[in-house]
Amino acid sequence: MFATLPEPQPDAIIALMAAFAADPRDGKVDLGVGVYKDDHGNTPVMRAVRVAEQRLHDKQTTKTYTKLAGDPAFVAAMQKLALGETPDRLAGAAAPGGTGALRVLFELIARAAPGARFHISDPSWPNHAAMLKAMDKAPGAYPYFDAETRGVRFEEMLAYVNGLGTDDVVILHGCCHNPTGANLTLDQWQQLTDSAVEKGWLPLIDLAYQGLGDGLEEDVQGVRHMAARLPRLMIAQSCSKNFGLYRDRAGCATVQCADADEQAKVQATLASVNRLLYSFSPDHGAALVEIILNDPELRADWEAELTEMRGRINGLREGLAEALRQETNSDRFDFIRQHRGMFSRLGATKEQVEQVREEAGIYMVTDSRMNIAGLTQDKLRDFARAAAAAGV
């Protein structure tokens, strides 16, 4: 039966992780996989997470199932984190990571409107298109990244969404765009909101990096503006990066509904979609997040550590832009300063990416996406030199 099994499409980032692991050189640098790293190249368990784990260990008396839509206290805390004041017409469900939250929301749309069409940014996180294709819902792509300026092609993006209607779902990155690092301004979010109001398309906001751009509140200004003005929208949150809970798989799917009747129906559907896809969502990471967000002291410490992480990333952005300025005698890499989040696209060709990998042991994804957090201050000069030598 398995003899005719097609070879799965290799995932470029996972393949890069394997190549990096096999490289015997000391001092090699992995800018591939999207995990936060500290100055020593470690991805630490956050302090507040450790304390919450101890508390959970002490107080948890059972591991029996939670609810099909997860623990409502976790869902409520996550919704408040994203939206601030929350309206009472929100439906929501815990999910296995941001990926799980996206998958649940895709399924909800498939049930609510089988003919609906999805649209993603060009480019986007590769799993958006991969998951949708696996559901026979290959997405359209709206113009987004300008390879010349490394900014957003906003006029073209706006023209694209202005051509959409009530059968269209537009996936937007809430902040810290992956893979490009180029983000929408608040004014641009406002213009997109006007378009959604007028044309009736439905936003699905992928919020995987809240707090890693400019701040917990700053990063969701656009999302909050949209939520305040639109009757409906969807949000997929991940706790992988901002809580460092990658392998614990904590995430949340939220649907802002038009009214209470719609909310009840959507809530019941989310629970039944969870049942269909994986039954109960993992609760360990969700329980930690709920403890942290609802305990003022732990929350303050979590926010402080998140601020340190963000500061490190933005400091590396400054340092790398400066090193590239000096090595290339030009300001064409200053976009790295303006970009936010873990990633930027350097703008190198596949051959240049390979040359930097071979000569300096620095691993970027083939499209020249780099995880800024994978760098350390002492490597900035080496990286800039290698990039300049490769003619980037």
Catalytic residues: 125, 206, 208, 241
| 240 contributes a contact to ligand PMP by CB under 6 A | yes
How near is the Cβ of 204 to ligand PMP at its closest, in Å?
A: 11
Build a one-symbol-per-residue string for 114-133: x at contacts with ligand PMP by CB under 6 A, - elsewhere.
-----------x--------
CB of 212 to ligand PMP, least distance (A): 11
Among 184, 208, 270, 348, binds ligand PMP (CB under 6 A): 208
Scanning residues 173 to 192, which ones bind ligand PMP (CB under 6 A)? 173, 178
CB of 282 to ligand PMP, least distance (A): 11
Taking the complex as a whole, the smallest distance from the CB of residue 345 to ligand PMP amounts, in Å, to 14
74-82, 96-104, 113-121, 354-362 -> range binding ligand PMP (CB under 6 A) = 96-104
Interface with ligand PMP, residue 98, by CB under 6 A: yes
319 to 358: interface string for ligand PMP, x by CB under 6 A: ----------------------------------------
- For residues 186 and 204, give the distance between their C-alpha atoms in angstroms, rounded to a whole number: 17
Query: Which of 97-105, 106-114, 151-159, 284-292 is the region at the interface with ligand PMP (rule: CB under 6 A)?
Result: 97-105
The residues pairing with 26 across neighbouring beta strands, listed in sequence order, are none
* Residue 256 in contact with ligand PMP, rule: CB under 6 A: no
Which residue number is nearest to ligand PMP in terms of Cβ? 97
251 near ligand PMP, judged by CB under 6 A: yes
Which residues are near ligand PMP by CB under 6 A?
34, 97-99, 125, 173, 178, 206, 208, 238, 240, 246, 251
